[in-house]
Structure 1
């Protein structure tokens, strides 16, 4: 079920709080009824999958149970109320609240992470939508590239008011510019063949008369033409078409243009008027498939014969032809050039090139089509050889005809013109290629087919290579043109200034100049498109990088969803395993109870003579030794002669050795037998004693201390005359640790230890929830006092460390402390810290050095995750003290207090201050991140050469729930198996190292990696 009730577990805890003032006055029996309803409701909600409301109901139930236990009626009859509440219900509620709290914390964190990723994902989708809209707008604007302004600008620079067949075909295909075509050929010609388009309208040439107005023309038009005639006012372009596109006075196309521009004053035209360049004849040859009849031919009229005269006919003179020719005086004939065979080059801008027209290099006609006499080059060579020959040449000096130089100049100019045309054609082709590249890129971006996309990408790469080749070819063409111009200039400088260029040379130069202007315009367009292509390539690379980031974001989103599903499945399996384990435990207990009824005990053979007759009411304890048999055996052994070897007597030592006392107390651990492994025995909950069980399991896995108690070494140091506890706590701890590490039991109950602790500390006497840190502090203090080798303690000296080096003062304080405190507890758990008070007035410091057995680290007040190093930094952060009286200047204006860690112990206990009071006691649920494998505190310790700064974690005491209604567990690393285990009262299960870190961590136990224990502790 989706989360809906809150944003964090803290908010759920607030919802679970009860109005204590109201419930204090309520009858406890009514509260018990409400509590049972809450418990049943919580279980039902849990089964339905409503984790949030189930957690709130469980916490309300636990808070209500705590309120009931504080009432006076409950204290009078605890057993009655516990039966009403159900002893198992409270524990089940705590366990369920713990599981739900873990699950909810994880889900809230995942939801927060998902919210961040979802926000990024939504921004990504919005950006993709905007990019798609921008791309669509770009394509739409691109299809409208041919506008009236574009046509006017591009056409006016080259052909005035004409539109080429290429431009008209592109305009028809792109469908972005409105137009109408007026065909002014005869009605018969139009019927035979015309442009295949619904906007092509016939205006027969016989209806066009000079001086006719538009209104008068409308009356003479055919019916079908009248329907389309009004469109001339609204379209962007009006195209006029005749056979050859000749705008001469008196022609039909000239008359229609005059009517539209001059004799239609009452109308306002939106667009412009264009004449089809070279007429329908050119359209027919270029786009035959877009005509109604591609086989039509133009009707050419014969030339008029009005000016013909028979006198104009020249007849050959045969007498003149028979005369001998003087070769020296006859100039070689001029080369005859057929201009009609020269290809026409259509110059097209990028907007004029059709999108889907296949691109081919326009190849100009070869030079062989230029008709010339073969003697031109030979005569030119003769001229050059003659001019370079010495004067003493034998024979007559040839007469140089200057026309040969002019012919040579014309030849070079023709070559130059051909190269310019070729260069222009290559530029036009490059424009087409640029256009095709842009089209391919657009198609590739819009294509959803991977195969087509790959093909387009390959084509795009080929075109980029082609661009590089075309640039090199253009450079070669430019070099060749420059060489020809140099040759022409050389010939021109060698010719007399009196010789004027002929008409043909002027025409060639004019055409070259015109093509150079076109070439310059084309070059500018090519450069613009090249820059645009480069920008698009950069944008594409950036888009590719962003797309990769977006893909990574989507993968993260998918991974989160998969992790969520996997965790839900793991939680489901875990619940099933727990239910199965509970059923197994219940079945095993029933079998044990059944089997215990069938056990029969036989009397000992000597029981009748031991003083216990048949009528005696006393029964022998099976765990108590038979003293009669022991006495008999002792008497038998004593009757034998004993040989004493005096040499075996040990040497006397100055050390007074305490005689170890036997531990003959009979303890009832109420064990559940089973092979679990050494150190893997659980501790039964005796009624809210989970705080004690958690600490005992952590101490049990403190290997050095556990060995010290299990091996019996503690008896050599125990102080039975201790006025506070008399050594009883050490004995109980030793017995409990021996049972835990025997490997014989699945679980035991440490009732004797609890009773002993309750005798010496009243707060632990009952069965109310207690703080595990308080229990640990008191237990360690009792163990230290019982094992202290110094029997008579003296008070510590007052420290006066002003002006003394810190190391000297610290050593003196440590020696003073250890002179009165010498025990295994001090050896393992005692560290030293430096406390300083700096006066706000005189700035002098008052420094003292104090021992510690554990460090209570504050947690940052925010609910965000923090590291354990941040807690250490907060612990050593200076704080302001108000009203402190400075011993130096006697002012009471306050001081700055700072605590620094001076010396670390071999076993460091870190307590996280999760509980705080802001009117009522609350708990901080921050996730404190700590390293399971190694903790380096070198930066925290202030001594120059610190010891034990590298530590490893071996135990964690966890707390779940609130201060009044909570549950304790322990995570411990077993030294026997080098694995982590969870100790939840009597239940013990293996866990991974990653599960150790949780927001429930309350007390952390570290041991120094480089610590070498003394022999007594090692054994």
Structure 2
């Protein structure tokens, strides 16, 4: 689209109603709709323009360049984040924006479907990244077709398309496989036990849990009515042996099910629960009428698996029936995508509790409001008694205990105390969190350089036109001020400049595709994804003007090139502005700066001798002309001003030196004076951190019943009682709108005699309460994948063993404590 098509003034009556646009954007999503992704910076400029109608804020045509990996392939960048990188816009809102602003190219349209997620609480979300499947025909390993699909298409649609792709007659019977298990069975191939279930005809790829990289196989029925797979669908036993030790039974990986196998091995070696199931006591407790339960199916399926694992008859089992049972009640575990081991544990323990809840009719419990007037011991005993009136099971007996939660209002000092049951402790890892970034620092041209009548630049300043800093360490979750402080300290410590850098006069920018994708304020949080971080130094008591470089082509259209820059100006004078721009250009361009220089070049055209380049007020994207600057016409400059330096193609090709821009001075890495990274972390420090008072954030306020408003109260957890089996979840994974990470630090936890008595608030005599480790779930690798295993101590051998899916091996105690430890199981010593 030609930029000239949109460089027209918009009258207020033609501008869409901003309230209407915002209402559309914030309305609830509905399954089956399509929403559009819009670059967040463009959208913010659009909102500003709709509010003030100033042309500097006119974003021009919709430009999603910053959301793509490259401008050529139009593939979305990985791990884009809502309201950081992009904004969702519903279809009707998209059409409003398109009508008003247009779009740079049709390839910038990013249209995505709305899908449903969740188990008990269903919610809608936009599918950002379609999934790429590997499609194959059963029995053929050579022909694999890579295809990208939306998660909203059904298995029936996928099956039909695969028939077409592999030239299979549409009347032939087929079924789908994924990762060793049937994904969509043919109607008459269902086993009697599954006859009441549907055939997954209408199940979507999202419901089936398929993820990018999954191999989906199409199996065609033989002419004699048999299937080429010719194997039992579920519950196949891998190996049998009459010499097996009970409990030392591997579990086959059914396709990214290592997370499930790891959880099952830890729970299997939790003796109070396993003995309860092996003794068949659970039959008396099965509750098929509990609306919160799974009709007893989870309890029965899990008990059957435990009995097989502890029968001493198998060295390995395929837990297909158990996985199917879980998938029927928790769709997030129904497919073959990698899931979180701790989340499966939490679901399984909750499911077992409800399936084995001895309470058939849960009574209504009235919560008393005078808790602040009674002793903690009284309130805690009442809270536990009320909880047991509605929740009474082997899971509660074994894993549940009480936490004391204290909230204090910062205004009225109201203290709110509650006692809440817990099934496991999720402990934070209190380590200093930093991450490295690469930064280009551009020093300001000093006043003596700007006023040099001979146009000679200071030698050191000329040499250090830009400074590259690799792996500058900044906080993972910080503000732009943290980047400014780190840059200033690094530059000042290196003494590469003759002057001292003031962090208050630094501007941090994110540059992409020759434009300022973002100019940050010091208070802003920075995104997990930054393109090219460039930090500019500015002069004191001056305006900071953003400047773009634009090539003016023969047809008078313009195109950005090079790296934009920032200049410092003290007054709105054309000569001062022009000279400041000229001095900046001299850092990487060899353009003639005086008529004498121009006259010495016989090839220079008359126009180049008399007006070397033009200056134009533009919008923040550099895509929309606002006004051409002239010597005789007054103008105002501010920190919100954007200017384009317009160079004819001939001048750009002749004088622009890209190497001067792309080859900055590289600052040698500085030696760290202190070691901020711990080699290990004691478990006691994690427990202490859990019980430390913290202030609630603005995104998670507490409603004070006395002040009648939400407050950022102080919150503190204390352990009031402890269970027979204590599950400790180490919070290695961090998820936020800004950053995602995994902490691989070694947590040093004891295998024997963990004394939890010192952390127990309800322990007036400071008695010891000793726990011994029985199992550990491990996670290796990073986010979105990796591999799960388990260590567990077998009750029959008294020794530790390592469980890696189907493989079981002896393990030394020395190997149990590792950086991979994720979930710990401790049993109280009686």
Normalised TM-score (structure 1):
0.35
Structure with more strand by fraction: 2
Whose helix proportion is higher, 1 or 2?
A: 1
Whose Rg is larger? 1
